[in-house]
Amino acid sequence: MAFLANRGLRIQLAKQYCYVIGYSRSFSFLINGTPVLEGAAGCFAFDRNQENIRQSDNILQEVTSVCQILEGSSWSPSLESALSRFDEKPHSELIIGVLRRLKDVNLAVNYFRWVERETKQAHSPEVYNMLLMVMAWSRNFEYLEQILEEMSIAGYGPSNDSCIELVVTCVKTKKLREAFGLIQTMRKFKFRPAFSAYTTLIGALSTINEADLMLKLFQQMQDLGYEVSVHLFTTLIRIFAREGRVDAALSLLDEMKSNSFHADIVLYNVCIDCFGKVGKVDMAWKFFHEMKARGFVPDEVTYTSMIGVLCKANRLDEAVQLFEQMDMNSKVPCAYAYSTMIMGYGSAGKFTEAYNLLERQRLRGSIPGVIAYNSLLTCLKKKGMVDEALRIFEEMKNDAAPNLLTYNILIDMFCSRGKCEAALEIRDTMKSAGLFPNVLTVNIMIDRLCKAQKLNEACSIFEEMDHKLCTPDSVTFCSLIDGLGRHGRVDDAYRLYERMLDSDRVPDAIVYTSLIKNFFKSGRKEDGHKIYKEMVSRGVAPDLLLLNTYMDCVFKAGETEKGRALFLEIKNQAFVPDVRSYSIFIHGLTKAGFARETYELFYAMKEQGCILDTLAYNTVIDGFCKSGKVNKAYQLLEEMKVTGHEPTVVTYGSVIDGLARIDRLDEAYMLFEEAKSKDVQLNVVVYTSLVNGFGKVGRIDEAYLILEELMQKGFTPNVYTWNSLLDALVKAGEIDEALVCFNSMENMNCTPNFISYSILINGLCKVEKFNKAFVFWQKMQKQGFKPNIITYTTMISGLAKAGNIIEAERLFERFKANGGIPDSACYNTMIEGLSIGNRAMEAYHLFEETRSKGCNIYTKTCVVLLDALHKSECLEQAAIVGAVLREIAKSRHASRSL
């Protein structure tokens, strides 16, 4: 009897023969030089031999004894001593038997090394391969590279079985990148991985659309001399085509033809379906005609795929023509083709044609199935035809029993419109039909109710879940957490996140992205930072979307340096910043006043190969305009048009504003007219940029025309528009017109802000209408606006010049009492006012205060004060002022000499 100490293996002893049947794990070893078992599963018979049976029994006992020692305690010198007490030296059959029983890789490696030391001999290839099997079964590859390196040096190689087992283990646990790494490690040591290992992994990678990894494995197979098949080419072409990577897919097709492989109907069907679905309809047509030219007869899959492609591309007439051609040549109607055509009619809103097709299917002896009705209901849902959908649902029951998808479509339709009661009625109908809501049903209800802002109803659905029959999954938690957070209920969202942790669900990056974004949105940035730290401490790896979102939140919260650090963090996390990363970074720096850095970042983005989208173009153009690089912004606007990205109101607005700021108003206006000619919906911001630009250079009439056009378009000028016009009128000395403008502003329910009052007060003071200015000053304060130093200085100066020194002094003292720090202009104005008002000593004391504060004294101020002091016979003070006046004169003379 052969020794086989492995679970899943059964030993059957008969009088004449001993059969060994392997159910799962394959291995091979030798007894007396004779192969006993080879392959994943097998049945071998050998002659009854008493000597062999006795040897096998002895080995079995030894294996059991060794395993009892090994599994009794952790590895230690005493354990090694216990192993050394065996009479027999370890041999291959014993080592393999022991390794096969061990579940712990660390223990297996320790035993493996101990045997080496004990026997002072290298292990056999069979022992090495058994150790690889242990790694595969335990899913622990910590020592894999080390063992493979030793095997390479010894001239051994992994067996096909161990290679396949290693890959299959990773595939079963969905660790496909680890499986890819295993094969690359084998290639590193020049091993030849098994053919089945490659094909198994390529097939698994196709389910998660890892096209580049698949292609690398495929190329390795060819380099190793493995004969690839049309089926493998088809698998790769399908994935590349689905991802829209048409050039790569076509390159594979050319390679296949150059290797003398001929496409079969399956490959043609795949090309028609995949190329068509990514919008390459003409290419799909090409494959359709090519296959017919090659002698292939299109089957139902071919026709249905092509019909579906045409319907999706809104080429309904061609789809109908093809469908009629197929239906005419078919003895039995293809139910799937009918469903596809019904879906096409429904998507185009041609429900009469869709209903006629249903009836035609019945007349041809084929009862429309649940797929046809679900297709129709899906289209009615998209069009919002609720009552019609319910009518079709009732009609459907005569032909086909509604399935779970049917009910989910209806529930989705009602929940999307916030009709919670109707959705619950459908759910009850489903239960009465013997179908019970699954987690997908619940997820649909919660997600749609959250989007319809029916948060209480969504929470009720969650709480009413029967966790024995339908357990919430990560999507359930994520939808509700995001829904609560987006509508300001961030504390409820966080409590639900804690419940998710308690239920042993591991939150992914999507959940953390939602929490971070919504905490920041609610103004609780510290909690947002806390969530990120918590995510890192739990070992959840952020994805690029999370880091981009976090960076965006940080910049919007005004934490510019933190935003910079997060951009570097993206690179530290081994991500390549995408166009959104750069857009957020550039926009954040521009808003923080660092627009000059836009230029370098733009070229870094270009060098990295980022393809700019409309948002990225707008962000970069805005940054260039704000940093004064208007010509570069204009070039990018033109580039945007060439690359097929239509400029938006944001694009035009940025460049128009940039041109207006540097007085290139004619160009700005031409761009303004271009935008209108392209039906770009311009907003108040764009009009305001032009009003401000024309007003700033004194082209008041044109500013008025822009304002008039703005109002004719149905827009209401905002406070910034009015302030631009007010400022222009004041600078042009048109103060009466400015007062009319101010009144118009109030009449149009646009409340003046602090800047509006400041502009008008300054204008009134300039034309010496001080009393009128003081009226607006008092009105501004009644509105709750706090004047700044410029407004205070303007008003104080105006009152002083008007001879109202009492009010000027009162205002000056109030300014200081409110924490204001007068500047040189403010001090000099008050000194002059007091001097003119025959209050020479008070003026002198303020003169001394001005000097002690380090503010400059003007020459004119000294002359006015000196004259006042002489009149009041304050000769000592006059002497000091005179000395200061002479110092000012000397200083100016010295400056001129230099």
Using CA atoms, how far apart are residues 217 and 223, in angstroms rounded to an integer? 10
Return the amino acid letter for 772. K
How would residue 896 be classed by pLDDT, with cut points 50, 70 and 90?
A: low
Stretch 838-851: mean pLDDT: 89
- Least confident window among 253-267, 376-390, 792-806: 792-806
More confident residue, 506 or 649: 649
Using CA atoms, how far apart are residues 470 and 839, in angstroms rounded to an integer? 89
> Which residue, among 13, 130, 142, has the nearest Cα to 63 in the 3D structure?
130
More confident residue, 883 or 40: 883
What pLDDT shows up at residue 763? 86
How would residue 17 be classed by pLDDT, with cut points 50, 70 and 90?
A: very low
What pLDDT shows up at residue 457? 85
Q: Give the torsion sign (CA, 839, 840, 846, 849).
A: negative
What pLDDT shows up at residue 47? 47
Stretch 281-300: mean pLDDT: 89
What is the share, in percent, of the chain residues with pLDDT greater than 70? 92
What pLDDT shows up at residue 2? 32
What pLDDT shows up at residue 21? 28
Stretch 494-517: mean pLDDT: 90
What pLDDT shows up at residue 51? 56
pLDDT tens per residue across span 44-53? 334 445 555 6
Model pTM greater than 0.85?
A: no
Q: To the nearest whole number, what is the mean pLDDT of the chain?
A: 84
- Least confident window among 186-200, 432-446, 736-750: 432-446
- Least confident window among 283-287, 427-431, 800-804: 800-804
- The residue with tokens 């190969």 is 609
Stretch 584-600: mean pLDDT: 86
What pLDDT shows up at residue 480? 92
What is the share, in percent, of the chain residues with pLDDT greater than 90? 23
Two tokens at 39?
Answer: 């392959």
Give the strand pairing for 17-22 and 9-13.
antiparallel
Q: Kindly state the DSSP code that residue 559 receives in the 8-state scheme.
A: -
Using CA atoms, how far apart are residues 246 and 264, in angstroms rounded to an integer? 20
pLDDT tens per residue across span 250-279? 888 888 888 888 888 998 888 888 888 888
Stretch 626-649: mean pLDDT: 88
Using CA atoms, how far apart are residues 128 and 163, in angstroms rounded to an integer? 12
How would residue 529 be classed by pLDDT, with cut points 50, 70 and 90?
A: very high
> Which residue, among 831, 835, 823, has the nearest Cα to 869 in the 3D structure?
835
How would residue 778 be classed by pLDDT, with cut points 50, 70 and 90?
A: confident
Burial class (CB in 10 A: 0-12, 13-18, 19+), 643: exposed
What pLDDT shows up at residue 6? 33
- Residue 527 and residue 516 in contact, taking contact as beta carbons nearer than 8 Å: no
pLDDT tens per residue across span 655-713? 999 999 888 999 999 999 999 898 888 899 999 999 999 988 889 999 999 999 999 98
pLDDT tens per residue across span 66-79? 888 887 778 888 88
- Residue 95 and residue 110 in contact, taking contact as beta carbons nearer than 8 Å: no
What pLDDT shows up at residue 640? 86
What pLDDT shows up at residue 484? 92
> Which residue, among 223, 224, 219, has the nearest Cα to 236 in the 3D structure?
219
